[in-house]
Amino acid sequence: MLYWLLLIIFAGFISILFFQPHWILAIIELLIPGVVYFAKIHDNLIALTIDDSPHSDTTQILLNILRENQVKATFFIISNQVFANEAIIQTMVTDGHELGNHMTEDKPSIKLSPEEFATDLLEAHSVISRFDKIHWFRPASGWYNSEMLKTAKKNGYRTALGSVFPYDTLIESSWFAVNYILFNIRPGSIIVLHDGNSRGQRTVKTLIKILPILKNRGYKFVTLSELFTKDNSISGQFF
């Protein structure tokens, strides 16, 4: 009896982990307000977000694929990677993509003290905002606490994670990412993928597969800001 109970609990945990049901994310939003995981809309609008840009080896390839498919995305920028790739950032803006703040380097933001976090957030902002207005923050590694959210909000940011994350930082399979995204996508979803080196190469393969399929299903890709202008549940609270 205990064996079957543990098996059911384990199966439920795996189901939540891999299928990220919206009701679980909605509960998290209620318990820890200040982070958005998806938009509460019925229109077939979805947001593609790409973390850890820019990279000289993969970002331009991603931009080319997005341009070919007439898709807009939100790129979460690591500011220390901007200086050798300023032309790529400018291309993002010229092509109509949105820029977000992903701190100065790729290390867990939650490990920073409140003072260190505020300094790092503003340092990244000073670099990224030279290219465009920045409205969105995503903590590096995805972990956050209430102090981080307060600091981000005080500095004019909304914090976004996502509802369709195929664990591409852990599972080195484009096939898995493609099928995970296609299975879990729904109106208002925020997809999270990663740029750079092998992760970026997998994202290239993933986008080549999913973009035409999702467009054929009737989905339209928009930036995060465009997605949340359609979300009446936060009307009057946005920017």
Closest CA to 39 of 195, 197, 158: 158
Q: Which residues of 27-56 are buried (b: 16+ CB within 10 A; e: fewer)?
A: eebeeeeebbbbbbbeeebbbbbbbbbbbe
Say what the pLDDT of residue 33 is: 75
Task: Read off the pLDDT of residues 94-129 as tens digits, 9 standing for 90 and up.
Answer: 999 999 999 999 999 999 999 999 999 999 999 999
Active site residues: 51, 194
> What is the average per-residue pLDDT within 20-46?
79
Average pLDDT, the chain: 88
- Check: pTM over 0.95? Answer yes or no: no
Task: Read off the pLDDT of residues 37-82 as tens digits, 9 standing for 90 and up.
Answer: 999 999 999 999 999 999 999 999 999 999 999 999 999 999 999 9
The CATH classification of domain 26-231, taken from the options 3.20.20.370, 3.40.50.620, 3.40.50.10800, 4.10.80.400: 3.20.20.370
> What is the average per-residue pLDDT within 10-15?
44
**Could you give the CA distance from residue 239 to residue 161 in angstroms, rounded to a whole number?**
17
